[in-house]
C-alpha cells in the first residue's frame, strides 16, 4: 500500500470487538480524503485452534495410542479488497483534471499511461 501512495495505519482491534473465533485481529486502515477518515481496507485474524477443532484439523502422532494430538492454529485474512482499494486510489490520486496513476502501476497500464484524464460528457 505504501508503493500505491496510500496513507495507512495498522490497528490492533480490542478484545471486546472480536468475534468468538478470533484471539487477535489487525486491521489495515487507509486514509480516504473524500470522507476525511481512515477506513478498513483489509484485516487479519489469528483464530488459534477455534476453527480447526470444529473442522478436526490436527497434526502430530494421530496413529499412535496415548499420544497427544495438537490442533493447528489458523489465520483468516483478506489479501486485497479490490473495490475498497480502487476507491481509495481514486480518492487519493484525484486531481482537478483526472487521476494520477501511481508509478508502481504504470507497467500495467496501456502504453505505460501515467495519467487518466476526466472526460467531459456535456456537449
Residue 106 belongs to a domain: no
pTM: 0.78
Residue 79 belongs to a domain: yes
Angstrom distance (rounded) from CA 80 to CA 38 = 17
Residue 99 belongs to a domain: no
Residue 107 belongs to a domain: no
Q: In this predicted structure, what is the pLDDT of residue 25? A: 94
Angstrom distance (rounded) from CA 59 to CA 31 = 41
Overall domain count for the chain? 1
Residue 116 belongs to a domain: no
Query: For 32-71, how does the pLDDT look when each residue is reduced to its tens digit (9 = 90+)?
Result: 999 999 999 999 999 999 999 999 888 876 666 667 778 9
Do the Cβ atoms of 60 and 119 come closer than 8 Å? Answer: no
Question: Parallel, antiparallel, or unpaired for β 24-32 and 58-60?
Answer: unpaired
C-alpha cell at 18: 472480536
Q: Give 106's pLDDT tier (boundaries 50, 70, 90).
A: very high
Q: In this predicted structure, what is the pLDDT of residue 64? A: 67
Residue 109 belongs to a domain: no
Q: In this predicted structure, what is the pLDDT of residue 62? A: 60
Amino acid at each position: 500500500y505504501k508503493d500505491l501512495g496510500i496513507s495507512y495505519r495498522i490497528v490492533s482491534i480490542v478484545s471486546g470487538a472480536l468475534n468468538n473465533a478470533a484471539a487477535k485481529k489487525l486491521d489495515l486502515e487507509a486514509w480516504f480524503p473524500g470522507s476525511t477518515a481512515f477506513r478498513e481496507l483489509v484485516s487479519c485474524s489469528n483464530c488459534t485452534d477455534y476453527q480447526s477443532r470444529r473442522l478436526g484439523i490436527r497434526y502430530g502422532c494421530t496413529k499412535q495410542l496415548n499420544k497427544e494430538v495438537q490442533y493447528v492454529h489458523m489465520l483468516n485474512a483478506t489479501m486485497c479488497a479490490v473495490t475498497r482499494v480502487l476507491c481509495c486510489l481514486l480518492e487519493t490520486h484525484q486531481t482537478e483534471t483526472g487521476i494520477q496513476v501511481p508509478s508502481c502501476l504504470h507497467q500495467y497500464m496501456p502504453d505505460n499511461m501515467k495519467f487518466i484524464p476526466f472526460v467531459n460528457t456535456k456537449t
